[in-house]
Amino acid sequence: MGLELYLDLLSQPCRAVYIFAKKNSIPFELRTVDLLKGQNHSDDFVQVNPLRKVPALKDGDFTLAESVAILLYLARKYEAPDHWYPQDLQARARVDEYLSWQHTALRMSCTRTMWQKMMFPIFLGQRVPPETLANTLAELDRCLQLLEDKFLKDQDFLAGPHISVADLVAITELMHPVSAGCDIFKSRPKLAAWRQRVEAAVGEDLFREAHAVLMKAKDLPPADTAMKERLKPLAQLFL
């Protein structure tokens, strides 16, 4: 059996892995894992990833969890062009710096924004207190400012003049609030121009393909009682 990628394209790190593999013509078998249906807790999937999270990779008898580890494994195994994860010590360190920061900063604020603006009221039928949403949007704005000031600066991409895995990880995060109706790029022309460069470097068709599931999330039918109960522990993290 060749390379298998276990993904749910509603998940931002799954989209980053998907785009990277497709853009670099890496052959793989897509194994869709529906998080909202709890398929990440199935016995079959737990054999692949006991952490019960996506993305996950299976390459023959070798399995791997965590999106950053998967991206770097693919970059090394398939000898992706150097700009994705540069050999230069300091350029690589800049990519690593962003990847280390985003987990507890941009990731959480983007995820909470999408859930509080869209998933709670539309999918779960649950009211979000206005002050909770206001605090989340304020934190998102703070993270976006850091993204511009600390990482993007006056560069074309986050780690320098060329696109890297850092840009893929970042743009897929930012599309979460976009899917919920937040025009986060409207008042940030520098970030908007960066988004256009990333989409152009990836290819607009591939970018749309990777985000099609996310952009239709607002049209999901309301969750039934069983699904609401199953998602309760996860949902509590996003309030």
Say which CATH number the domain at 71 has. 3.40.30.10
Residue owning tokens 């807790």: 41
Q: Are residues 33 and 63 in the same domain?
A: yes
What pLDDT score does 27 carry?
98
Q: Give the pLDDT of residue 80.
A: 98
pLDDT at res. 29: 98
Structural domain range at position 64: 3-80
What is the model's pLDDT at position 158?
97
C-alpha span between 81 and 83 (Å, rounded): 6
Please enumerate in sequence order all residues whose Cβ is within 8 A of that of 148, keeping only pairs 6 or more positions apart, or say none: 188, 190, 191
**Is residue 54 domain-shared with residue 129, that is, in the same domain?**
no
Considering 28, 45, 80, which residue would you say is the last residue of a domain? 80
Q: What's the token pair of residue 130?
A: 């206005």
Q: Are residues 162 and 55 in the same domain?
A: no
69 touches 16 (CB < 8 A): no
One domain for residues 183 and 111: yes
Nearest 5 degrees, angle CA 162-CA 8-CA 231?
125
| pLDDT score of 233 | 86
Residues of the chain with confidence (pLDDT) below 70: none
Name the domain boundary from 59, 80, 101: 80
CA–CA gap between residue 43 and residue 40 (Å, rounded): 9
pTM: 0.96
